[in-house]
Every structure is written in C-alpha cells, then in structure tokens.
Chain A
C-alpha cells in the first residue's frame, strides 16, 4: 500500500521515455540554456578571427567582392536591369539579404554532422546549436548591413536616385523571416542528412541555384512572364523585393507576396523544428 501512495506522490524532475509526443518541443529547456547559446555565439566569433590578420574585416570582404564581380558580370557584361538603381547598390542589397538566408541554411544544414562529437557525449537541448548559428549569423548580417548603409550613404552623397520608404519598419520582420526560413530548411536538411548523406551534397549548390531563382541579381520586374510565377513561388523573392523596396524604394512590394512568404516560412519552420526534435533523440546512433 505504501509503495502505491509513494508512487502517486513521487515527483520526478525528468522522465525519459522511448516515445514522446511529436510536439513536445521543450522550449522551456531551451530558455534555461540561453547562456549556452550566447557562449556558442561568442565561440563562433572568437574562433572565426583567431589567428587571422584581418580578423572581423573578413565580414566585409566577401559581400564587397561579390558585389564587384556581380556589377561587372551581370551589370556590365550581361546588362541586366537593376530597376534604375545604381548597380553596386542594387546587388549589395540583394547579396546582403541573401547571404544571411544562405548562411543560415548552409550552416544549420550540417549541424548534426558537425557536432556529432559533442552531441554524442553530452546532453543539452539540441535546438540551441542551430539557434546559436542563426544568432551568430545575425551579428555578421548586422556588420554587413553597416557596409550596406555605408554604400547607401556614399551613393546618396553622389546624388543617386533612390529613397528609403516606410516599408523599412518591416525590416525586423524581414530579418526574422529570413532567419526562420533558413533555419527551418536547414533543420529539415540536417535531420535528413543524418541518415541520407546525399542531401549534404545537394545543399551547397542547391542554395546557389536557388539564388538565381530569387531576385538577387535581377529585379522581379525584369523577370520574363514565363518564369515570373515560378520566381514568385519562391518565398525568398517576396522578402528580397520587400527589402529592396524598404531601403531603395524599388522592387515589387506587396502585402500579398510578403504574407505568402510569411506563411511558407511558418510552415517550414514548424516542420523543421518537429523533424529536428524527432531526429535529435536517436541521431547519435545513425550519424
């Protein structure tokens, strides 16, 4: 009798079970480990520029050079339209936003593989790792935004034709959406790669191909009608267009397309977290 009473009153801090609900996402635990998230972000930065000469300057170099190349190839050789905007500004806007999304996706897509060692030895909410990646990318994105603003300032001083619109108020939402979409896709891919390594090959050039399906190097207005639907189907298109509209005043910005992007982002994000959580429990055995 006593044991039965005992059992009822016993309170466990932690119950580990073989099968748990698909939607038991343990967000409270993630919150408890927030210090760890910051620690990982810090680690990423410190290890990024340790033993380099230029250090954090590398954050500028990549978008800057990409812009120069794009201006040369797509602007001067291919003469693609830039909606009447100065070419470097147009490309830099696209690259800055796209890079953030692309980094989120590629870096989170290898989270299980890269951290198999540490995941195999110690427990912490696995979601901390991809979240820390997105956060440290956010800092990098912030730095690159400074570059973008600087270039904007330069072109403003030379009297180029662009204007900041009120859509800039949506900027935080845009960043969040890009982060979540990248994160969601990355989570799905990383969960799948634990079993099927093939996907990891797909990611690196898949992201690159996706860029050409997004309005990074051309404006949506210049897209041929045949492919317009397809390009609009890409949730990143709405965001990049909105981003350009906000900062440069050009681009097809509509609540409808942004709403569509938000919906897709939400679906992919939820799907990603659920799949990730399911994989997380046993991935150590298959990776």
Chain B
C-alpha cells in the first residue's frame, strides 16, 4: 500500500467578520512586520480555535489547526464533523481552491473534486457542451471526454435533455450530470462533498454505488464528506472526525461515527434558567449502557397554586414529533428542590439522531418555556451485520417459520 495523500501540520486561518475598512492600513502594518522586520505575523497569534458557538474577541480564526494524516491509496475516507468544523475547508485545501496558511499537502495522482453541484456549468450551454466544459475544468483532455461521453450521458440519465441548455434543467438533473462527469474522470483521487443531498433516492443510491465501485474496483481513493452517517458507514473504510478545526479521531469508520454522534450530545440551553416562580437549576444528560438519562433539578422559588408540567418532545431530524412525554411538577411548597429524571433506552427508535425539546408550562396553558431545543441525542446500537431496515420505529414483531414436508405434485 502506498500513501496517496499526506498532510503535514496543515493550518488555515480565516479572518471573520467584516472585511473592508481598515484593511489597507492593516495590510501595510502586516507587510511591514512580516516582510521588512522578518517577524511572525502578529495577526495569526490572535487566532483561536474554531468553535462557531463561542463568541470571541479576535476576528481571526483557525479554521484548521495543525492537521496531520495520511491516506492510503484505495481507501474510502469518510470525513465527518459538525457544521463549521472545518471539513469543507479541508476539502478546499486538498482540491487547491484555496491554499493553506501553514503546512503542506502531498498528493500522488490527479485529484477530481466535486465540492458543489454543477460546478462550472454554464446556463446557456447545452448539457453536452457542459459535459465538455466541466470535464475540462476538472482537468480532462478533450479526447478523454470524447471517449467517455456515452458513459457519462448514460449514467446521468438525462439523455432526453442532453441538447437542451442547462438553465432549463431542474436542480436534480444538473446534479446528476455534474456527478456523472466527476465520477467518470480519470483521476486517482475523488473528493466528494455533500452532493448527494439533492438527488432523488434512486440517484443517491446510484452515486453511492458508483463511488463504491470507484473505490473498491478501480482502486481509486475516495474522500467523502457527509452528514449522512449510513452513507458514510456503507461507503467508507476509514473515518476522520474533525471538530473545531482539529482531528478528533482518525481510524475505523465505526469508531469515528460513534465519537461524532457522542460529541453531538451537548445541551444548548444555558442552565440555570429562571422561569418566574420556578427555576431549572441543573440539567444533565447521561448515557448508561443503552439507556438515555435526562436529569433536571427544579427549584420552586415561590409557592404556586396551579400545577406545573414539564414536557419533552422527541423529534426526528426532519423536525417531526415522534413522541412527547410529560410529567407533573409539584409546586405546592416553596424553596424545595425537585429532581426529575426521564429514562429511556429508545429501543423502539431506529439508529439515528433525535432532537429533544423542552416545554414547561403552568396548568391553564401559560408557557414558561415553549419548545426550546434541549439537546440532540443519538440512538445508536451497532449493527449486527444483518439486513438494513428503514422506517421511523422498530416495533418488535414476532416472526415464526414452520418447515413443512416438501410439496409434491399429486
């Protein structure tokens, strides 16, 4: 096995916030310090780790900080991480769209990247013309495209419209065409960023199949960024987890996914919260074995005659309420702390991410807290290698099978 990509001490600094006024004086100052006086760039020192949720003073951010990894030839690498973790920055650096601030990337072979749908498609040109244009943008020679044209058109499934200007295409059709071109490139390394989100189910399947084929049969290296864990799991043999611009984990796909899903479980409300007469003092989320535990400490500040209720809504990734569960809170006596705990193994849910929302209300429907996002949890029980199932819930049905004596024609 040879190394296809080697990344050493890779860092990328971005300036955030407004870029504009004051840049000229800053540029001159910066030039003076770095070039004339030969010192380090002072603006880089201010940089802080890349965490989009925390507000900091500096307007310089390390989108990627000191990244090191190697990718073997023929590997299918899933790059996962939350929004803004630096995944796309990494892909941009790998595909040379922008260049690193510090560090080196060494690559063996040609890189074809599909960072976004329909890159370089020109609306006025027909599908066929765009195949040529896009192919050459991705570094193909005209002859190569000639050779592969039929295959590309066939794979995209838009034969009917191939001589129609792309501006009349639907988004889905453009994606199909774009992916078809990229997938048929003669490159050793294929970089794909989140493109599959647009195509229909059939095409997504086709793309994943093609990427698998590209990786496993043709021995090409595939880098794949996605939030779709099942796609990553199916496609990739290596996983890289990026968090706040740093590599949190690199190794088996399964571990990377578990780590990622676990790191997602952070609460988003700031506790303690005062809600009039009561206060949520503490909130804690724990995972004990397969059980998910949500623990609240309520403090009743003032006696309230009417009853209070706490309600949890469990929603799918698409924000559909899967179920709700509520509990009465006894507020008849003041200055008491009430610990409330909700426990469930979510056995009836499929593996996946679920969002929990918190509602607190007084009887008679006065909202104290209404549908506030509490946290995202992940139901994940490793697959036992059996058949994939889809759906929202996993009810336990009972199969029975009986074997009868063979039927014979009488």
Contact = CB atoms under 8 A, between A and B. Distances in A.
B120 interface: yes
A228 interface: no
A35 B138 contact: no
B106 interface: yes
A13 B107 contact: yes
Contact of A284 (B98, B101, B139, B141): B98
Contacts of B93: 16
B267 interface: no
Given A12-B106, A13-B108, A122 B138 contact: yes
A121 B115 contact: yes
Contacts of B23: 195-196
Contacts of A14: 105-108, 111
Contact of A18 (B92, B96, B99, B124): B99
Interface string A28-40: 0000110110011
A171 B55 CA distance: 61
A285 B14 contact: yes
16 contacts: A10-B106, A12-B6, A12-B106, A14-B107, A46-B125, A47-B125, A121-B116, A121-B120, A123-B113, A124-B138, A196-B23, A281-B99, A282-B98, A282-B99, A284-B97, A284-B98
Given A13-B108, A122-B119, 14 more contacts: A13-B107, A16-B100, A16-B105, A17-B105, A18-B100, A18-B102, A18-B104, A35-B141, A43-B133, A118-B137, A122-B137, A123-B113, A124-B137, A285-B98
Closest 9 CB pairs of A and B: A123-B96, A281-B99, A36-B136, A47-B124, A16-B105, A121-B119, A12-B106, A14-B107, A284-B98
Nearest to B63: A285
Interface in B175-217: none
A196 B125 CA distance: 33
Interface of A: 10-18, 32-33, 35-36, 39-40, 42-43, 46-47, 50-51, 118-124, 195-196, 281-282, 284-286
A172 B138 CA distance: 33
A42 to B, nearest CB: 8
Contacts of A118: 119-120, 137
A120 B93 CA distance: 11
B15 interface: yes
A46 B94 CA distance: 33
B137 to A, nearest CB: 6
Contact of B129 (A13, A16, A36, A46): A46
B113 A122 contact: yes
Contacts of A40: 133
A51 B168 CA distance: 14
A35 B115 CA distance: 22
Contacts, number: 113
Interface string B74-116: 0000000000000000001111111111111111111101011
Nearest to B126: A46
B117 to A, nearest CB: 9
A284 B129 contact: no
B398 interface: no
B100 A123 contact: no
User: Most chain-A Cβ atoms within 10 A of its Cβ — which of B93, B98, B110?
Assistant: B98
Contacts of B136: 33, 35-36, 39
B357 interface: no
Nearest to A48: B124
B19 interface: yes
Nearest to A119: B97
B328 interface: no
Contacts of A43: 122, 125, 129, 133
B113 A15 contact: no
Given A13-B108, A282-B99, A124 B139 contact: yes
A118 B141 CA distance: 19
A46 B128 CA distance: 13
Nearest to B119: A121
B122 A281 contact: no
A132 B65 CA distance: 37
User: Most chain-B Cβ atoms within 10 A of its Cβ — which of A47, A120, A123, A195?
Assistant: A123
Contacts of A13: 107-110
B24 interface: yes
B119 A39 contact: no
B142 interface: yes
Interface string B8-50: 0001001100010001100100000000000000000000000
Nearest to A121: B119
A33 B138 CA distance: 9
Contacts of B102: 18
A17 B10 CA distance: 9
Contacts of B138: 122, 124
A36 to B, nearest CB: 4
B283 interface: no
B224 interface: no
Contact of B92 (A15, A39, A284): A284
Nearest to B98: A284
